Structure 1
Amino acid sequence: MSKQEKKDQTQELIKETAKNLFFVKGKFSATTQEIADEAGVNRTLINYYFRSRDNLIQIIFDEAHRVEKEKSEIIMNSDLPFKEKIGQFIEGSLSTSLQYPYLETYIVTQINKGNCHKRDIEENELNKMYSDIQKEMELGNIEPMKPIQFVLNMVSLLVFPSAVRPLLMENLMIDEEEFDKIISERKSIILNMLFKN
């Protein structure tokens, strides 16, 4: 194995370990030392490859986020009927929630710190979605409302349970496994709430 390959492998290992600690286990306060210990590498390597813990966290967050954005774009730009598009989008979002149970919670903590995230959607994409929603309302498939309300309903139903995961687990007295099961069952529930038929 070349030096470059070894370097790439070590960088990947550190990133995957940090992703696991932050977004899978919800350990947002994990230190550089804890990330290094978990990855089985020397702490100085993290600073060498990523300059700082914050920089590493930003990189893994951006990567997780980019994958999501690309998946959403493929769905939204497809020629599928609107309800199927929304169904696929919901499925993709829920599977991300299962893969990274604490990603939404992390985003909320960042927003609360004043680190608001970049805009994800172009104006023309948004307008196209609003006009698709409007058409569905005219066809009687969606309850009449402002299209933005439909989007808020969808996002709330999708994101809220994962965003407050620790709070819900505590108050509803359920463990990680049970919570994952509940999340995985949400697709048809959400679709039935958003669409009349």
Structure 2
Amino acid sequence: MSVKIVDQDTEQLIKETAKRVFFAEGRFKATTQEIADAAGVNRTLINYYFRSRNNLFDIVFDDAQRQEHEMMEKIVFSDMPFKEKVSRHLDIFFEQSKEYPFLEAYMVTQMNQGTCYKDKDKMNVLLDKFYLEIALEMEKGTIQKMRPEQFVLNFVSLMSFPSSMRTLLQETMGFTEEGFNALLQERKEIIMNILFIK
């Protein structure tokens, strides 16, 4: 029993370390030896638990994607008012972006390769619910009238573009990492003011 717990702990340690190396430090090409060194374990354990570096990468990315989808489902299907749902989503997104600044860039890359959101049915159910709420808010006059899909494009673009383009923007705008994080912290209020009329 205790051996199994230790094994689970080691496997989780490797996954969390890989997530940090890949998505917090942006070292997408890190070797199994580099991940093992960062985790303080023997490299053979990575092969034992995950078979290969690429398999570990896929598992870590799938976990991150699943967690994001579960978070979106929890917000969209909650009883919160629509404006609060958008606000909550922004809070979680920017907190994650601060912890894992390179995750969004990698997700965009995967989307371009057609490997994101394997369960499109689940995503369609979530989007249909969100579109309906957007349409209802437009009728109330809290947001500008447009196709609900346009509202989603505005929301996602305003939220994720600075994160997905972080390296380029930070470099060209002359920000330190801390300075760019502070800039992102200001985004929520700006986004809310752009998206909502009242």
Deviations for 1:123-148, whole angstroms, at most 9, x for unmatched residues?
34322222221121122211111110
* In structure 2, C-alpha distance between the alignment counterparts of 1:124 and 1:107, rounded to whole Å: 21
Determine the structure 2 residue equivalent to 1:149: 150
Structure 1's unaligned 5+ residue stretches are none
> Residue 141 of structure 2: SS of its match in structure 1?
coil
Deviations for 1:140-159, whole angstroms, at most 9, x for unmatched residues?
21111111000000001111
Determine the structure 2 residue equivalent to 1:130: 131
What is the aligned-residue RMSD (CA, Å)?
A: 1.7
Q: In the alignment, is the contact (CA less than 8 A) between 1:97 and 1:103 conserved in 2?
A: yes
Q: Which amino acid aligns with 1:185?
A: E
Whether 1:116 and 2:115 are equivalent positions in the alignment is yes
Deviations for 1:29-72, whole angstroms, at most 9, x for unmatched residues?
11111111211222111111101111111111122222222222
Q: Which amino acid aligns with 2:163?
A: S
- Which 4+ residue blocks in structure 1 deviate beyond 6 angstroms? none
Determine the structure 2 residue equivalent to 1:160: 161
Deviations for 1:171-190, whole angstroms, at most 9, x for unmatched residues?
01111111112112211111
Give 1:115 shift: 4.5
Q: In the alignment, is the contact (CA less than 8 A) between 2:24 and 2:100 conserved in 1?
A: yes
Determine the structure 2 residue equivalent to 1:63: 63
TM norm structure 2 = 0.92
Give 1:121 shift: 4.0
* In structure 1, C-alpha distance between the alignment counterparts of 2:147 and 2:111, rounded to whole Å: 26
> Residue 91 of structure 1: SS of its match in structure 2?
helix
* Number of aligned residues: 196
* In structure 2, C-alpha distance between the alignment counterparts of 1:16 and 1:37, rounded to whole Å: 13
Q: In the alignment, is the contact (CA less than 8 A) between 2:17 and 2:38 conserved in 1?
A: yes
- CA 1:121 to 1:161, structure 2 compared with 1: closer, same or farther past 3 Å? farther
Give 1:110 shift: 2.6
Determine the structure 2 residue equivalent to 1:46: 46
Determine the structure 2 residue equivalent to 1:104: 104
- CA 1:124 to 1:20, structure 2 compared with 1: closer, same or farther past 3 Å? closer
Aligned residues: percent identity?
Answer: 53
TM norm structure 1 = 0.92
Q: Which amino acid aligns with 2:64?
A: A
Q: In the alignment, is the contact (CA less than 8 A) between 1:75 and 1:89 conserved in 2?
A: yes
